[in-house]
Amino acid sequence: MKILAIDTSNHPLSIAITDDDQLIATTTLNLTKNHSIYVMPTIEKLVAIAGWQPADLDRIVVAKGPGSYTGVRIAVTTAKTLADTLQIDLVGVSSLKVIGAHVAQLQAGRPTIVIFNARRNNVFAAGYQAQQGQMNEWLAQQHMSFEDLLQLVEERQEAVSMVGEFDAQFDEQVAQSPAHSLITRLPANYAIPSAYDLAILGRSAQPVTQLDEFVPDYLRITEAEANWQKKHPGELKQSYVREV
């Protein structure tokens, strides 16, 4: 199965093409740039390097969020357009899981928490653990305060590795938390997603059944929607902005 995997859900851009579980070509750019400028040229370059044509692809796998609103939207829109044009399968995978699956395998059974900075002292978080060759999600992905996440670690009383987008405020909170002795912060390079890992996760997953209904998984409403709801209390909480 020839797969194109796309992840632009955060600052890094990672794209890969694989044939079954074999990596054919990949590019990762860890730059704070407008991904919309680079995503299609990078895809075209990798397909050309492989000596393939777009019609040779069997499946598109995309990191569907959470993450940057703009980044997630770019990846999902690109993936949907290609899947529709080429009439091939589309699979969406959690952006947190892309990092968690790889890191959990390196941690020899130690629980791992992946976080993305959601601003205002909030995070997108999920917990993963490799056990007997299987990757288990022990903390479902969610939008939560960093304080609540630290409290959860304290209540579990189990050592964890933490990887993702940290800022000085998060570091200070960890240092002051009763849970600080339970937390090992992994180096920043562990938080760079690999589109190859994304392709492997999506290879055996069920494809989207209704392409036009596939949307990003933001895990929270947009700021514009939140402001609209404040001005229209009691009305239906239905998005008035079409995300994709």
- The b/e string for 17-52 (b: 16+ C-beta within 10 A; e otherwise) is bbeeeeebbbbbbeeeeebeebbeebbeebbeeeeb
pLDDT of residue 133: 77
Domain 2-94+193-221 listed as CATH 3.30.420.40: yes
Query: How large is the average pLDDT for residues 14-42?
Result: 94
pLDDT reading at 174 higher than 60: yes
Model pTM? 0.89
For the chain, the domains span 2-94+193-221, 96-191
Q: Across the chain, what does the average pLDDT equal?
A: 91
pLDDT over 70 percentage in the chain: 90
Query: How large is the average pLDDT for residues 17-32?
Result: 94
pLDDT digits (tens, 9 = 90+) for 151-167: 999 999 999 999 999 88
- For residues 130 and 226, the model is more confident at 130
pLDDT of residue 231: 58
pLDDT reading at 230 higher than 80: no
pLDDT of residue 146: 98
pLDDT of residue 135: 87
CA distance 196 to 27: 10
pLDDT of residue 179: 97
pLDDT reading at 26 higher than 90: yes
CB–CB of 60/6 below 8 Å? yes
pLDDT of residue 233: 60
Instruction: Please report how the helices 195-203 and 95-106 are oriented relative to each other, as an axis angle in degrees rounded to 10.
Output: 100
- At residue 13 the predicted structure's pLDDT band, cuts being 50, 70 and 90, is very high
CB–CB of 112/128 below 8 Å? yes
pLDDT digits (tens, 9 = 90+) for 66-123: 999 999 999 999 999 999 999 999 999 999 999 998 898 888 789 999 999 999 999 9
Paired residues of 179 in beta bridges: none
Residue among 118, 136, 165, 166 at smallest CA distance from 12 = 165
CA distance 108 to 92: 27
pLDDT over 90 percentage in the chain: 80
CA distance 217 to 128: 19
CA distance 75 to 13: 9
The domains spanning 2-94+193-221 and 96-191 adopt the same CATH topology: yes
ω before 66 within 30° of 0 (cis)? yes
pLDDT of residue 228: 40
pLDDT of residue 32: 74
pLDDT of residue 221: 58
CATH of domain 96-191: 3.30.420.200
| Residue 37 DSSP SS3 | helix
